[in-house]
Amino acid sequence: MVAGTNRGGRRVGVDVVSIGIPAPIRNGRPIFEPRHLGTAWMDFDYEDAFGKPTKVVNDAAMQEVGSYRGGRMLFSVSGRGSGRR
C-alpha cells in the first residue's frame, strides 16, 4: 500500500496523506487492529512511511466528510463494522 501510494503521490504532487481505516481512531491512531486488514495498523509510523503529514481517521467518517457539500448534515453510523472482534 505504501509503495503504490507514494508512487501515485509523486506523480500528482501530493502534500499530505489521509487514510480511512475501519476501526475506531483515538489521537490519530487505531485503538485496535481492523478485523479484515491484518495486523500492524496500530503501531505503524504513517508519517515516516509516506514522508508527508498524515491523518488517520475512521473510514466511515472519511466517507461522510468527503460527501459533504454544505448546509446541515446528519452523520450516523450504526452496526458493528468498526473492526471489533
78 lies in some domain: no
55 lies in some domain: yes
Q: How confident is the model at residue 76 (pLDDT cuts 50, 70, 90)?
A: low
Identify the pLDDT of residue 85. 44
Nearest-10 Cα torsion for 36, 39, 43, 44 = -80
77 lies in some domain: no
Q: Rounded to 5 degrees, what angle do the CA atoms 49, 52, 56 make?
A: 75
Give pLDDT tens digits for 20-56: 888 999 998 999 998 888 888 899 999 999 898 999 9
User: Residue 26 pairs with which residues in a beta bridge?
Assistant: 29
The reported pTM is: 0.70
* Parent domain of 40: 2-67
17 lies in some domain: yes
Q: How many domains does the chain have?
A: 1
41 lies in some domain: yes
Residue 52 maps to which CATH number?
3.30.420.40
29 lies in some domain: yes
All three cell numbers of 69, joined, read: 457539500
Identify the pLDDT of residue 79. 53
